[in-house]
Chain A
Amino acid sequence: MGSFLEDVNRQINGVDLQNCYHCQKCSSGCPMAAAMDFKPNEIIRMVQMGQRDLLLRSSAIWLCASCETCVTRCPNAVDIPRMIDILRVMSLNAGVVPHDREVIQFHESFLGTVKRGGRVNEPIMIATYKLKTGTYFKDVGVGLKMFLKGKLSLFSPRTKNRKAIRRIFSSTAKS
């Protein structure tokens, strides 16, 4: 097994992170930078310096909104959103409990309904999320309003061939 940097570069499978010369264009245009504990170019530097544990525990990797502004503007075409997705998966595999656990709980709730029905069932997804996080009363007003307008149907159509969906989930599952 190579270094942390080599590992991340191999998974990016494109432009290596050493190409970043820290012009900070990514961090300047990032809509989430102000809320992050480490800014996008700092994350790159930390990967370069092998600061694995600190990064996998960071809140920044879960706050990235995947808007892709950074990679679009990067003069060296460094794929920062892909790097962040790789760090997220590493963090999950390492079993790290991050500060922003609710972001992960949202993803789990979302993918859970896809796995079961082939499509997202929004009311069930939100109910699962609330059970996981204990945020029972948040957004109740707006949720009720949408429900009354018929925008949150409990019986939205599902994919018929659910065997095909289960096969996709099992064949891409991480050991």
Chain B
Amino acid sequence: MDYSYYPGCSLHSTGKEYGESVEVVSRALGLKLHELDDWSCCGATSAHSTNFELSVALPARNLAIAEKRGLDLMIPCAACYNRFKSAQHSLAQDSDLKNSISKSLDDDYSGSAVIRSPIDIFHQDVGLEALEEKVVKKLKGLKPVSYYGCLWLRPPEICGFDDTENPVMLDEMLTSLGAESRNWSFKTDCCGGSLTISKTELVENMVNRLMRMAREAGANCLVTACPLCMANLDMRAHEDVQLPTFYFTELIALAMGLEGPENWLGLHNIDPLPLIKSLKLL
């Protein structure tokens, strides 16, 4: 199975263990990723907060590049995914906007690209059964809560995820890996996003609450699929409530016995290795 691939800026820097684990796991699951040629930033929160046209044009450039190959486009970052989906939606709704934005692009934009998350691709295209067959080490004793955050899910008519208030795809995948996935009510609460730099105290309060609620649900870790959520969960929680957070792809790699998890987990701020080693998973 072949996909176009847009890593986004974070996956080369603060989220590099996510980028590497997405690529390693995809390869091991038989998915071939073709990185978009000379891609550029989606503009993230900063573009849509200050200039609507810019926030549409930046993803549109990448979408036009993706359209040329015609493959489904995998985007592992929730923020990029949301910006790409929103831009495509705005351009489909407003032909004047489409005309004016098209003029600033090198490639033709039609709106035909199919934008997808790796959560959806692993869950739907690979499937839970195939995933379970590849597991060589069940994640026994790992009790994760799945944290989906905002940007994969909302608004629902644009994002098209499984369920806006109670998504389950990550939970189901973790169960397939042999983890004891815990249910909780904070799957889709906000982590504070990019306010982490300018409004740190507010973000600390939000993240501390998530950590406390994860503990109350009996979890020993959190699982995310977003580099911004990871940055906040991993760096902004106070010491007395901290739990380690994993990218879901790191755990898939661990369960499949792939090379990489030890290095990736060493890049986290809240060290997950004591937990992983105490469960004899590494």
Contacts and interface: CB of A to CB of B under 8 A. Distances in A.
Interface stretch (B24-32, B110-118, B134-142, B150-158): B150-158
5 contacts: A35-B202, A66-B193, A69-B188, A151-B267, A161-B106
The range of chain B's interface size is 35 or more
Contacts of B48: 66, 85
B50 A107 contact: yes
A31 B190 contact: yes
A159 B266 CA distance: 29
Contact of A106 (B190, B198, B235): B198
Interface stretch (B39-47, B120-128, B274-282): B39-47
B98 interface: no
Contacts of A174: 51
Given A67-B154, A72-B155, A89-B50, A161 B198 contact: no
A52 interface: no
A109 B189 CA distance: 27
A107 B199 CA distance: 13
Interface string A70-89: 01100000000000011011
A151 B49 contact: no
Contacts of A146: 14, 269
B200 interface: yes
A165 B193 contact: no
Interface stretch (B53-61, B171-179, B211-219): B53-61
B244 interface: no
Contacts of A149: 266-267
A53 interface: no
Interface of A: 11, 13, 31-32, 35, 63, 65-69, 71-72, 85-86, 88-89, 92, 100, 102-108, 110-111, 114, 118-120, 122, 126, 129, 138-139, 142, 145-146, 149-153, 156-157, 159-161, 164-165, 167-169, 171-174
A106 B150 contact: no
A151 B268 CA distance: 10
B71 interface: no
B145 to A, nearest CB: 18
B200 A107 contact: no
Contact of A153 (B13, B54, B197): B13
B50 A88 contact: yes
A76 to B, nearest CB: 14
Contact of A172 (B12, B13, B53, B153): B53
A21 to B, nearest CB: 20
Nearest to B53: A172
A151 B14 contact: yes
Contact of B58 (A35, A114, A157): A114
Contact of A103 (B51, B104, B198, B266): B198
B54 A168 contact: yes
B43 A172 contact: no
A13 B197 CA distance: 32
Contacts of B154: 67-69, 71-72
B103 A171 contact: yes
B46 A107 contact: yes
B195 interface: yes
Given A100-B199, A107-B46, A161-B106, 9 more contacts: A67-B154, A72-B164, A88-B50, A111-B46, A114-B58, A122-B9, A150-B16, A156-B13, A168-B54
B220 interface: no
A89 B52 contact: yes
Contacts of A156: 9, 12-13
